[in-house]
């Protein structure tokens, strides 16, 4: 038989939602099941649930962050986020925070769209209801791609005012959206990668570099709809 999704596998012309797709459950090694299948109807329902978002009002100088899993070594250009119902006026700075080191309790950014400290002013928020791409830069303002290694990172957005809006995840809380930390081999705070949308916020000073405490819970209407690119 030919490989998956090749000419050796017949095409399904008419789907009814009962078809099954292979998936990785995201469970840690040794936890069952590590892989399985899901009906297309179940997948569609879950996607609709996770796509439930709201146009959120930021508090000036507060960082809003979410978890973001990187599976393989990848060169990243920057961070993109979805603007809510109001754009313009305010400035925004996006940062990528490092994975939490075993035994540590806080993390620092490894890449920023405005790393000049303490005079970073960010980029003016774009047009409402569109995606805005923010490029990682060095302290001279030049583009500086970041080579990310596999790990659980944290994407942060910080706004200089509260006139603009950002799109935030509004899905109802379910166990899979939270992130647990365990003590493994006497090392504390080892993240258990189950939380796909754990988020948090921290009141800080706009334009300055600061550590954050990685989130372990999910709060609807807080975590930004954002990803790396």
Q: How far apart are CA 44 and CA 181, in angstroms?
A: 30
> What are 190-203's pLDDT values in tens digits?
555 555 678 999 99
Q: How far is CA 136 from CA 76, 77, 94, 142, 143, in A?
A: 8, 6, 8, 8, 6
Q: What is the dihedral of CA 141, 146, 152, 153, to 10 degrees?
A: 0
Q: Where are the domains of the chain?
A: 20-49, 54-228
Q: How many residues does the chain have?
A: 229
> What are 30-74's pLDDT values in tens digits?
667 778 888 988 888 878 887 889 999 999 999 999 999 898 999
φ/ψ region of 44 (left if φ > 0, alpha if ψ in -120 to 50, else beta) reads: alpha
DSSP strand pairing (62-70 vs 151-159): antiparallel
Residue 193's pLDDT is 52
Q: How far is CA 48 from CA 94, 163, 221, in A?
A: 27, 29, 16
Q: How confident is the model at residue 1 (pLDDT cuts 50, 70, 90)?
A: very low
Which tokens hold the place of 172?
Answer: 């109802």
């Amino acid at each position: 038989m030919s490989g998956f999704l090749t000419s050796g596998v017949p095409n399904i012309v008419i789907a009814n939602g009962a078809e099954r797709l292979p998936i990785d459950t995201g469970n840690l090694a040794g936890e069952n099941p590590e892989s399985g299948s899901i009906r297309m109807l179940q997948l569609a329902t879950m996607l609709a649930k996770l796509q439930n978002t709201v146009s959120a009002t930021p508090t000036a100088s507060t960082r809003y962050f979410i978890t973001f899993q990187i599976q393989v070594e990848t060169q990243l250009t920057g961070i993109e986020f979805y603007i809510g119902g109001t754009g313009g006026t305010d400035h925004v700075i996006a940062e990528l925070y490092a994975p939490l080191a075993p035994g540590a309790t806080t993390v620092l950014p490894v890449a920023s769209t405005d790393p000049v400290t303490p005079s970073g002013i960010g980029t003016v928020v774009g047009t409402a209801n569109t995606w805005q791409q923010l490029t990682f830069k060095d302290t001279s303002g030049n583009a500086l791609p970041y080579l990310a290694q596999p790990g659980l990172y944290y994407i942060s957005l910080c706004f200089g005012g509260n006139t603009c809006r950002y799109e935030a995840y509004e899905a109802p809380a379910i166990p899979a959206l939270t992130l647990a930390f365990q003590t493994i081999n006497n090392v504390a705070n080892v993240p258990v990668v189950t939380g796909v949308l754990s988020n948090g916020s921290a009141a800080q000073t706009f334009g300055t570099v600061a550590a954050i405490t990685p989130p372990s819970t999910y709060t609807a209407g807080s975590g930004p709809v954002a990803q790396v690119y």
